[in-house]
Structure formats: structure tokens, C-alpha cells
Amino acid sequence: MLVGAHLHEACDDFSSVHPRFALDLFHLVDQPLKLALPFLEHRPGDQKYLEELANRIRQKIGAVEGELDYGFCHGDLLWRQCRLRWPKGHDV
């Protein structure tokens, strides 16, 4: 089993008393859209496209929302994203 699979399995029952950041549609779609639209005021066609795209994303995720898994988010586990710190400041 790969390291990532072990981590997913170990986190299945993870719970914490600490508040967690919500990685939801508001954060992933609504907030970025709200920030981008003012920069496109001179391009109403692009504003409309982004608003329609956001609606399609919400609809598609809403259609499968009951089938999605939610859990602990560990971030990237790619080898290039990992860093080990050895004694005396030698990083790998």
C-alpha cells in the first residue's frame, strides 16, 4: 500500500476539537468569482462566462454531493512537495 493510501486509511476516523477550515464551494468558487468580477467590468462577456461557469460547477457538484467523501485534507503528497529536515540544517 502506498504512503498516501496509508494516510487516507489512518485519517478515516480522524476527529479534532479544533475548528477546521472549510474547503467548500464558497471558498473554491464564490469567493474567487467575487474577487475576479470587478477586474472584468470592461469585459461583460467574460463576466457572464465566469458566472455561468460557476453555476455549472455548483450544479454538477450538487448533483453528486451525497456521493462525495469528506475527510482530513493532507495536501500534496508528490515527492517534489515533500521535504525532510535532517540535523544540522541539511534539507532533502
Is 77 among the domain residues? no
Q: String of b and e for 17-51 (b: at least 16 CB within 10 Å)?
A: eeeeeeeeeeeebeeebeeeeeeeeeeeeebeebe
Is 85 among the domain residues? no
pLDDT at 78: 66
What residue numbers bound the domain in which 33 lies?
A: 25-64
List, for residues 27-66, the tens digit of each pLDDT value. Answer: 999 999 999 999 999 999 999 999 999 999 999 999 998 8
Count of domains observed in the chain? 1
Is 20 among the domain residues? no
Is 19 among the domain residues? no
pLDDT at 7: 77
pTM, 2 dp? 0.65
Is 31 among the domain residues? yes
3-state secondary structure of 59: helix
Residue 90 has pLDDT above 60, yes or no: no
**How far from chain centre, in Å, is Cα 39?**
24
